[in-house]
């Protein structure tokens, strides 16, 4: 590698002071990484029936950590070459959606794992996964492939999202949790549902702020990656912490009972 190339690789990893978006790519990477270590180690502390749920929590943040590593480099590389790059040029859309396509279905699996001992069928898990894939594929097309049809694809994507929300607030997920007669499980499901209903709603807001999109005319300085990065940290680490704290409480209570 010649010297010039070498210097440009070094530069590509530099974070400029005041770059809030770049900052959240770094903190996102590190916090996902640290959360994974935490979930993998703490898995030893909880009762056997919670171990798979904690493993999945750790996998979600670990998959995200690896993608944040790439997204961070991508963003910094584009900005180092062209500080005037537009928001969408600097946005690592492909890595973002590869990450989501793996992690969001795993979040659906968390609901299934919690409810499987209380009669959840694999069909429910697959319906949630299918809805999440529809949501993400449509979102990707709207962001990266047909940006002139963002609103149409945004609506298709929202249909997938609404289905998941429905399942968790009124459908099978809710009914199985209510019928479980297990306060730990129903508490975990309620808290995870709150992430789906409130935390996940952050993403369509980011999407609407995209260049040439609904709210672009508002001329806001909010950046789509800033919003997605904050959303990911809240949702992925938060999801795992809910599973962890409910698992720890249940383990402790059963140990003293």
Ligand X SMILES: *C/C=C(C)/C=C/C=C(C)/C=C/C1=C(C)CCCC1(C)C
The contact set with ligand X (CB under 6 A) reads: 100, 103-104, 135-136, 139, 154, 157-158, 161, 200, 203-204, 207, 232, 235-236
- Closer of 79 and 143 to ligand X (Cβ): 143
- Closer of 171 and 238 to ligand X (Cβ): 238
Q: What crossing angle do the helices spanning 150-169 and 172-179 adopt, rounded to 10°?
A: 20
- Closer of 12 and 144 to ligand X (Cβ): 144
- Closer of 25 and 207 to ligand X (Cβ): 207
Q: How far is the CB of 64 from ligand X (least distance, A)?
A: 6
Q: Are 53 and 113 in contact (CB under 8 A)?
A: yes
- Closer of 111 and 180 to ligand X (Cβ): 111
Q: How far is the CB of 196 from ligand X (least distance, A)?
A: 8
Structure tokens at 114: 């919690």
Give long-range contacts, CB 8 A cutoff, 24+ apart: 16-19: 16/79, 19/79
Q: How far is the CB of 51 from ligand X (least distance, A)?
A: 22
Distance CA 93, CA 211 (A): 13
226: phi then psi, degrees, rounded to nearest 5: -60, -45
239: phi then psi, degrees, rounded to nearest 5: -55, -50
Q: How far is the CB of 100 from ligand X (least distance, A)?
A: 5
Distance CA 54, CA 57 (A): 5
- Closer of 201 and 218 to ligand X (Cβ): 201
Instruction: Give residue number: closest CB to ligand X.
Output: 139
Q: Are 72 and 55 in contact (CB under 8 A)?
A: no
Q: How far is the CB of 212 from ligand X (least distance, A)?
A: 15
Q: How far is the CB of 71 from ligand X (least distance, A)?
A: 13
CA distances in angstroms from 13 to 7, 25, 72, 98, listed in the order given: 10, 11, 8, 22
């Amino acid at each position: 590698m010649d010297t010039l190339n070498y210097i440009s690789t070094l530069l590509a990893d530099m974070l400029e002071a005041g770059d809030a978006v770049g900052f959240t790519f770094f903190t996102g990477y590190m916090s996902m990484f640290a959360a994974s270590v935490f979930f993998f180690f703490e898995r030893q502390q909880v009762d056997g029936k919670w171990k798979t749920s904690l493993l999945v929590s750790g996998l979600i943040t670990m998959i995200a950590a690896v993608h944040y590593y790439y997204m961070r480099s991508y963003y910094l590389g584009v900005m180092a070459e062209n500080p005037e790059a537009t928001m969408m040029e600097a946005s690592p859309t492909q890595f973002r959606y590869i990450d989501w396509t793996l992690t969001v279905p795993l979040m659906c699996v968390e609901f299934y794992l919690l409810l499987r001992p209380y009669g959840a069928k694999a069909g429910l898990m697959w319906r949630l996964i299918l809805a999440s894939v529809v949501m993400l594929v449509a979102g990707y097309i709207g962001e990266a492939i047909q940006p002139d049809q963002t609103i149409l694809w945004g609506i298709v994507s929202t249909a997938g999202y609404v289905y998941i929300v429905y399942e968790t607030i009124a459908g099978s997920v809710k009914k199985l949790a209510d019928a479980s007669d297990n306060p730990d499980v129903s508490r975990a499901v309620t808290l995870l549902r709150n992430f789906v209903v409130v935390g996940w709603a952050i993403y369509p807001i980011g999407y609407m702020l995209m260049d040439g999109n609904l709210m672009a005319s508002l001329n806001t300085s909010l950046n789509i990656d800033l919003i997605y990065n904050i959303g990911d940290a809240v949702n992925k680490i938060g999801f795992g912490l809910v599973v962890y704290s409910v698992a720890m409480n249940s383990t402790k209570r059963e140990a003293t009972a």
